[in-house]
Chains A and B, each alone.
Chain A
Amino acid sequence: MHLFLTYTILGLVTGAVYGIAASGLVLTYTTSGIFNFAQGAMAMLAAFTYWQLRYGWNWPAPLALFAVIAVLAPLLGGVLYVGIMRGLRETADVTKIVVTIGIMLGLIALAQWIWNPGVPRTDNLFFGEAAKFKLLGVYVTDHEAIALGCAVLIAVGIRLLFTSTRTGVAMRAVVDNPALLQLNGGRPGRLAAFSWALGGALAAVAGILITPISGGTLDVHVLTLLVLDSIAAAMFGRLRSIWRTFGGGLVLGLAGTYVLGYFPSSWSWASDFRIALPMIVLFVVLIVLPQDRLRGATLLRTRERFTVPTMRTAVTWGLILLVVVLLLEQIMGANDMGALTIGITYGIIALSLTLLTGYAGEINLAPVSFGAIATIIVFHLGLSGTGLAQRITPWGLLIGVAVTALVGGLIALPALRLRGLYLALATLAFGVFVSDMILADIAPHVLPIFHLHFSIFDEGTLQIPPLKLGPVDLSSTKTFLTTSVCVFILVGIGLIALRRSNYGRRLTAMKDSPAAAATLGQNVVKLKLSVFMLSAAIAGLGGVLLSAASASVTANTYIIFISLALVMLTVVGGIGSVAGALMGGILAGTAFTALTSTFTNLSTDHGGGGIWNTLANLSLVAPALVGISLGRNPSGAVPQIVASYRPLWNVKSVLALGVVAEAVAYVLVLTKVMGNWWFVLATVAVAVAVPALGRVVRPDAFRTGAVTAPPAPGRPAAQSVAVGSAAAVEGVADARS
């Protein structure tokens, strides 16, 4: 009984903190329609800031608390809304999701920049360990009592705000119809900013309270994920009810401690299960939730635009890509080729998103986790030979990909009724579950009856040998690179063919209006299931290649943040196009890693080069900045680049000059006159100079696009800078169709 009470109180306290964090999520979602994936990262940042003030600079606790909870955190929330979220109206679900993911990754990178992760930091309980009192025979620390008190106060406070104050009632009105509220004299923008400030404060309270309870060690990723768990609580309340959100938080907290307390310690997976529990609960709650019936498009048209290339264009660009990579192989060292291979394999995983999100409008936030599943299958079933001669067999690859498709189907089947954000959350839950339970399963098991010894992720590291496809042995870096590029091209062209087929049009129809597709007789569930399985298979294929290219993989290879970064950068590149997937993959797998390591090397080589260190850190934050900027150009970078180059067809002389300049640079590198980095710089210079030169030589060729561009309806005026180019994209797209 005594033990039970101890666990109950611990569970209630954890649950209370979940409730506080989740209520912030509910608040911001109901007033702005944006689900804040960065809530966990905001809580983490607040916990770090509090540590800095309280222990780093020895401020008194009340002052530090006031500064963080009442000043800095609300400021961050408000600034995020005003600076970024406001620009996300009329964008697709995936754009909104990706932008807050960008903020999350940005805050994580920022925290690692400011607070070197190598230095251990701990937060203590309020009033210390000794401050405790006895309740029903068990000790309760003052800190725990404070956490419970805060939760009660916040729950009652929000409830009162919503029901008894003018601001609160207006906040509820914002959700349903911001335009109508505005007509009635309300200010939806100001209310949303207020709710984001409040959300920031709630995140801070949660972050500061939970850190000492969960051991006191400040860890960027652990803290972010800990608060991310509170999403499950928010889902209990269907992102609406504050009471049920807090109730959900308590259920989560209690379930976690009871599992910890009462599962036999001989079950090696019990502690993993406890960590994964909130995500399992999230998945179940999402499935069990009563769902909205099929709805039509909520917007007449979102701002995203994608054009589908013809097969001839697709094949031409495929060949160009192959030639470029073959030429690059002549001048690259083995390390560079290895890095590029990683980028290309990420690109193949990103193609699974092009199909699923770009074509079918469904969201998967854990593509890399599917790659992990395929890798595990291949590792256990698809290898032949031993030692250095060990290879992945084609059959092994096939089985891995097939099993991944089946797993994708199993995940999708219950989640099929979910749409947009809810499906995204279900895949997020799956991804974290894979990391927490499957990849963490490093202890050996014995299969009963068969007495077979096995462990899913043996001792935490798997050595993945290269693939051997008949006569093609990928043990050479160059062959591996060429082969992955060929796989990318084939899958990419296949996707474009698919999009142009009857199946692809049906996917597009389902994406644009599920209701209309269904009333035309389309079995939406079957179609979704098939596309989800196909997408999982592609992610599995890319994942196996990624693992083989990395040679040695750990659970960190597939951590959810990698998936999130890949999703974000793919959307940045352009989720609707194959080239966008390539860009996303290379940015995620190669470019930013290369930049960071280059700057880090420079700073160690040149000693005390603070500027290089800063640049290295900046390049860690950079992907997030890119993601956050997405609101300005939701169609992605590739369509924009295409639009800026298209008029050059009429200025062939400039185009030819550019090709010649690039060829000269290439020859200089080939003859070792120039280094590789200079080649990169020269390429960037040519890429920028060519359209600029074209504009100077033939201004008229560039103007036509702008003239035919239709006025963009409903675009906030603040975005006029980006509108010019985005409108040009539309103009070109419209002229072509």
Chain B
Amino acid sequence: MPVLEVSDVSMAFGGAQVLSDVSLSVAAGGVTGLIGPNGVGKTTLFNIVSGLLEPKTGRVRIDGHDVTRAGPASRARRGLARTYQRLELFTSLSVRDNIRVAGEIRNSWSRRGRINVSAETERTIELVGLGDVAEREVSELPTGRARVVEVARALMTQPKVLLLDEPASGQTEQETEAFGRLLGQLVDERGLAICLVEHDVGLVMGTCALIHVLDYGEIIASGTPDEVRSDPVVVNAYLGTP
């Protein structure tokens, strides 16, 4: 059963239809890609899934529970975590405290036993490779690494499903490669369900088991990287001819 299930979600801002009947699911132990040109509603879909926006129609289920009417906090408690395309870091806190506070928030609501926040913070910093900048203020970090802080912060809530909104934009090539390996590790070792919005085609093709392509608020194609790559509709709308 998929951990995250979005069915027939539609959304409009004023008169502008942003999403029409979008359905997709994200399964545990794999990365599901969501790609498409800028402004087709990928971030809007993430905002709907995480509870920051209410859809006009449609359902969102996490772990089988219907959370369409639930607020963002209760969705997090069901195991959802996310990062933001426009960074939403806690700018008054250091890198370490940004990650730490996420664990503290998690402990304040979790019924599944508390985590040792200090130990978990260090483990996560180590895992994502932020050890050298842990004491710095987040606003000093280059965008690429700041995005990693958001990923680390999201991991601290021990999520089942993780939404990543353009995590690799602003990263160097080496950083993106390392990030790809990190995603693989999270999927294999923790069985995490990851939904990845990304423009770095290499990263998407390299990590995703399944890819959905969104264009003008509609899913125009779904399939494995190879299927999507060779789909003429997708090539025309987004990828372009190589």
**A interface residues (Cβ-Cβ under 8 A, vs B):** 293-294, 296-297, 300-301, 306, 502, 505-506, 508-509, 511-513, 515-524, 710, 734, 737
Contacts and interface: CB of A to CB of B under 8 A. Distances in A.
Interface string B133-152: 00111011000000000000
Contacts of A737: 94, 135-137
Interface string B41-54: 00000000011111
A516 B52 contact: no
B108 A297 contact: no
Contacts, number: 105
A520 B139 contact: no
Contacts of B153: 516, 520
Contact of A516 (B71, B89, B117): B89
A518 B72 contact: yes
B22 to A, nearest CB: 19
A522 to B, nearest CB: 5
Interface string B154-179: 10110000000000000000000000
Contact of B73 (A502, A506, A522, A710): A522
B183 to A, nearest CB: 20
Contacts of B73: 518-519, 521-524
B9 to A, nearest CB: 16
B52 A512 contact: no
Interface string B172-196: 0000000000000000000000000
B84 interface: yes
B88 A505 contact: no
A520 B90 contact: no
A515 B88 contact: yes
A523 B100 CA distance: 17
B97 A505 contact: yes
A511 B84 contact: no
A734 B87 CA distance: 21
B76 interface: yes
Q: Which of A508, A521, A522, A524 is the most central at the interface, judged by chain B CB atoms within 10 Å of its CB?
A: A521
A509 B86 contact: no
Given A505-B101, A508-B90, A512-B92, A301 B108 contact: no
Q: Which 9 A-B pairs have the closest CB atoms?
A: A521-B76, A516-B88, A518-B72, A512-B90, A505-B101, A513-B88, A502-B104, A296-B88, A509-B90
9 contacts: A505-B97, A505-B100, A505-B104, A513-B88, A516-B84, A520-B157, A521-B108, A521-B109, A737-B94
Interface residues of B, number: 43
Contacts of A511: 92
A518 B94 CA distance: 19
A294 B52 CA distance: 6
Nearest to B87: A300
Contacts of B50: 519
Contacts of A524: 73
Contact of A520 (B51, B102, B137, B140): B102
B77 interface: yes
Contacts of B137: 734, 737
Contacts of A301: 91, 139
B237 interface: no
Contact of A513 (B53, B89, B117): B89
Contacts of A306: 92
Contacts of A296: 84, 86, 88
Given A297-B91, A506-B108, A522-B108, A515 B101 contact: no
A508 B93 contact: yes
B38 to A, nearest CB: 16
Given A513-B89, A516-B89, A520-B153, 9 more contacts: A513-B88, A513-B90, A516-B153, A519-B50, A519-B51, A519-B80, A520-B156, A521-B77, A737-B135
A505 B104 CA distance: 9
Contact of B157 (A506, A515, A521): A521
Contacts of A515: 52, 72, 84, 88
Contact of B105 (A513, A522, A734): A522
B52 A517 contact: no
B104 A506 contact: yes
- Among B76, B88, B137, B154, find the residue whose CB has the most chain A CB atoms closer than 10 A: B88
Chain B CB within 10 A, most for which of A300, A502, A519, A524: A519
A300 B105 CA distance: 22
B199 interface: no
Contact of A506 (B77, B80, B101): B101
Contact of B106 (A505, A508, A520): A520
Interface string B33-72: 0000000000000000011111000000000000000011
Nearest to B93: A508
Contacts of B76: 518-522
A152 to B, nearest CB: 30
A519 B90 contact: no
B228 interface: no
B81 interface: yes
A512 B93 contact: yes
A509 B94 contact: no
Nearest to A307: B92
B82 interface: yes
Interface centre among B73, B80, B154 (most CB of A within 10 A): B73
Contacts of B54: 293
Contact of A512 (B53, B89, B108): B89
A516 B90 CA distance: 8
